[in-house]
């Protein structure tokens, strides 16, 4: 064990549960297992309890007048970060008076902090809270931007990234789908910086992305090292055994093993009114048991509840089809806005997961061996869906109609297929195998465990220097 008391890390998370959770998880791991001290910097409360040895600092949000309400969520995060360079600089300078900072670790929005941190002489690392497929894409994006014109979805051939499944233009990140947009420019800007960090950590594991991991191991060429350190998810032990279980867990306790399909679109996903109805009627038609985290529909935003996950209207379930709750009460459970997802996925009654393919949700499904229906909505989720369906073969992909809506008969078909069908059986088996690999990667001597040891030894060396 290391005993150097001056190995201090600063970990900075961008806004959003999907970013704060893995960054907090990483901080906790580095402090508890590797004896670092740490300061965790974020923009909101931390949604999970950190050990008291980690001090937390909250950065002020940017003035709202600078950001229009219809600005893309990702642009909003980038503007928030750009606005925070100076406050973070003050924090680091003040810490440096008493502490030697071994490194600052950012998430994938950290690019604009990079030159400031380098100026202060502190090593900077980026933690990609997604996978190698995403990282490969981002590193290639500036080349695409500089060498092609027109929309990416009109590219004549799928993109072949080293060691990855082919990627069609239509499945590129949602924010780059309109090349002339402000948000696309932001993504390219973020991407141009990743290889300038001192090291890149990825929340993935070798067995999932063998080809890409191998490519990055050999990459060299003056590029920073890349380490697979996942699946890093928030440990389930956060459940307080003193507290009564959430009502959906009580309900799951009554259901037979592997019978329930869990439907949840992450912390931010929202559907239109029409899509919400089609999903409801499809779940009803499927005849399967379901646990559905329902959100108030949003006609304009697919990540509508990102900054405000608990928003509910006056009649919180008034948008559901008439009589739906009554007709499905024997086998359906509805939870408004938020469910204890990790606990749900770890419950033996849960047999499938209809997911937006957010990467944290996906990793949580892996470690619990729950096969998925991929229903991507925003961000890099379409790429994750390709990785899950065509690469790992642990998910069935939902067919979206030409009008952009997934119709009720498609919902019924895919949900039934996942729980009872032949294809469902295949993805379930494959998911069981992947679960073993995922768990093994994090165990002592596992690939991600060893990668993490390597990262730690470099960070400790930096401190000693």
The binding site for ligand UDP (CB under 6 A) comprises 16-18, 21, 264, 266-268, 293, 338-342, 358-361, 364
**Residue 84 to residues 108, 276, 337: CA-CA distances in angstroms?**
15, 37, 30
Minimum gap (Å) between residue 219 Cβ and ligand UDP: 26
The count of residues in the chain is: 465
- Residue 334, H or E segment: strand 332-336
Would you say 154 and 227 are in contact if contact means Cβ atoms under 8 Å apart?
A: no
Minimum gap (Å) between residue 89 Cβ and ligand UDP: 27
Minimum gap (Å) between residue 337 Cβ and ligand UDP: 7
Query: Can you tell me the distance from the alpha carbon of 119 to that of 82, in angstroms, rounded to the nearest whole number?
Result: 16
Query: Can you tell me the distance from the alpha carbon of 56 to that of 459, in angstroms, rounded to the nearest whole number?
Result: 21
Would you say 339 and 320 are in contact if contact means Cβ atoms under 8 Å apart?
A: no
Cα angle at 281 between 275 and 282, to 5 degrees?
Answer: 85
- Is 48 or 85 the residue whose CB approaches ligand UDP more closely? 48
Query: Can you tell me the distance from the alpha carbon of 451 to that of 123, in angstroms, rounded to the nearest whole number?
Result: 18
**Residue 333 to residues 173, 247, 330, 354: CA-CA distances in angstroms?**
32, 9, 9, 14
**CB contact set of 357 (below 8 Å; sequence gap of 6+):** 372, 374, 375, 376, 381, 382, 384, 385, 388, 395
* Cis upstream peptide for 20 (omega within 30°): no
Minimum gap (Å) between residue 63 Cβ and ligand UDP: 25
- Is 122 or 354 the residue whose CB approaches ligand UDP more closely? 354
- Is 7 or 355 the residue whose CB approaches ligand UDP more closely? 355
Which two structure tokens, joined as six digits, stand for 366?
A: 């892996």
Minimum gap (Å) between residue 224 Cβ and ligand UDP: 24
Minimum gap (Å) between residue 128 Cβ and ligand UDP: 12
- Is 288 or 303 the residue whose CB approaches ligand UDP more closely? 303
- Is 192 or 246 the residue whose CB approaches ligand UDP more closely? 246
Minimum gap (Å) between residue 172 Cβ and ligand UDP: 17
Which residue number is nearest to ligand UDP in terms of Cβ? 18
- Is 258 or 346 the residue whose CB approaches ligand UDP more closely? 346
- Is 107 or 112 the residue whose CB approaches ligand UDP more closely? 107
- Is 139 or 363 the residue whose CB approaches ligand UDP more closely? 363
- Residue 104, H or E segment: strand 101-107
Minimum gap (Å) between residue 78 Cβ and ligand UDP: 16
Minimum gap (Å) between residue 77 Cβ and ligand UDP: 11
- Is 110 or 358 the residue whose CB approaches ligand UDP more closely? 358
For residue 202, what are the β-bridge partners?
128, 228
Minimum gap (Å) between residue 434 Cβ and ligand UDP: 17
Would you say 128 and 207 are in contact if contact means Cβ atoms under 8 Å apart?
A: no
Least Cα distance to 351 among 263, 248, 246 occurs for 263
Residue identified by tokens 């768990």 is 439
Which two structure tokens, joined as six digits, stand for 158?
A: 């799928």
Start-to-end CA distance of the chain, whole Å, equals: 18
- Is 136 or 384 the residue whose CB approaches ligand UDP more closely? 384
Burial class (CB in 10 A: 0-12, 13-18, 19+), 350: buried
Minimum gap (Å) between residue 340 Cβ and ligand UDP: 6
Query: Can you tell me the distance from the alpha carbon of 199 to that of 204, in angstroms, rounded to the nearest whole number?
Result: 15
For residue 12, what are the β-bridge partners?
41, 106
- Is 336 or 405 the residue whose CB approaches ligand UDP more closely? 336
Least Cα distance to 446 among 435, 437, 455 occurs for 437
Minimum gap (Å) between residue 16 Cβ and ligand UDP: 6
- Is 289 or 341 the residue whose CB approaches ligand UDP more closely? 341
**Residue 196 to residues 13, 111, 112, 126: CA-CA distances in angstroms?**
19, 9, 11, 10
């Amino acid at each position: 064990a290391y005993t150097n008391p001056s190995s201090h890390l600063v970990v900075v998370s961008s806004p959003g549960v999907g970013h704060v959770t893995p960054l907090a998880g990483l901080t906790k791991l580095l402090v508890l297992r590797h004896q670092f001290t740490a300061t965790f910097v974020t923009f909101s409360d931390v949604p999970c309890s950190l050990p008291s040895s980690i001090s937390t600092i909250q950065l002020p949000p940017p003035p709202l007048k600078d950001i229009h309400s219809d600005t893309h969520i990702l642009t909003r995060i980038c503007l928030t970060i750009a606005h925070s360079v100076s406050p973070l600089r003050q924090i680091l300078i003040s810490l440096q008076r008493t502490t030697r900072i071994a490194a600052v670790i950012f998430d994938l929005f950290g690019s604009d902090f990079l030159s400031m941190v380098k100026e202060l002489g502190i090593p900077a690392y980026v933690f990609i809270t997604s996978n190698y497929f995403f990282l490969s894409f981002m590193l290639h994006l500036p080349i695409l931007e500089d060498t092609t014109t027109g929309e990416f979805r009109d590219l004549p051939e799928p993109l072949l990234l080293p060691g990855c499944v082919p990627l069609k233009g239509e499945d590129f990140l949602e924010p780059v789908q309109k090349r002339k947009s402000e948000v696309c420019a932001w993504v390219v800007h973020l991407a141009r910086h990743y290889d300038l960090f001192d090291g890149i950590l990825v929340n993935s594991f070798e067995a999932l992305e063998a080809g890409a991991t191998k490519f990055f191991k050999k990459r060299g060429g003056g590029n920073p090292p890349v380490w697979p350190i996942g699946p890093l998810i928030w440990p389930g032990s956060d459940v307080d055994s003193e507290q009564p279980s959430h009502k959906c867990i009580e309900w799951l306790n009554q259901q037979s093993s592997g019978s329930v399909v869990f439907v949840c679109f992450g912390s931010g996903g929202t559907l239109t009114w029409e899509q919400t109805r089609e999903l409801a009627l499809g779940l009803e038609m499927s005849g399967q048991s379901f646990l559905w985290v329902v959100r108030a529909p949003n006609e304009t935003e697919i990540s509508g509840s990102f900054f405000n996950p608990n928003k509910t209207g006056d009649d919180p379930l008034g948008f559901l089809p008439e009589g739906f709750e009554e007709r499905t009460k024997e086998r359906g459970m509805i939870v408004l806005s938020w469910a204890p997802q990790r606990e749900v996925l770890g419950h033996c009654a849960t047999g499938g997961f209809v997911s937006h393919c957010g990467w944290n949700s996906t990793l949580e499904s892996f470690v619990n061996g729950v096969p998925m229906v991929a229903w991507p909505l925003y961000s890099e989720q379409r790429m994750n869906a390709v990785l899950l369906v065509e690469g790992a073969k642990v998910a069935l992909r939902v067919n979206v109609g030409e009008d952009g809506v997934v119709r009720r008969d498609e919902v019924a078909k895919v949900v039934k297929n996942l729980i009872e069908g032949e294809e469902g059986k295949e993805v379930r088996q494959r998911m069981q195998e992947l679960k073993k690999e995922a768990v093994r990667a994090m165990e002592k001597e596992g690939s991600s465990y060893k990668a993490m040891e390597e990262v730690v030894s470099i960070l400790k060396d930096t401190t000693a220097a």
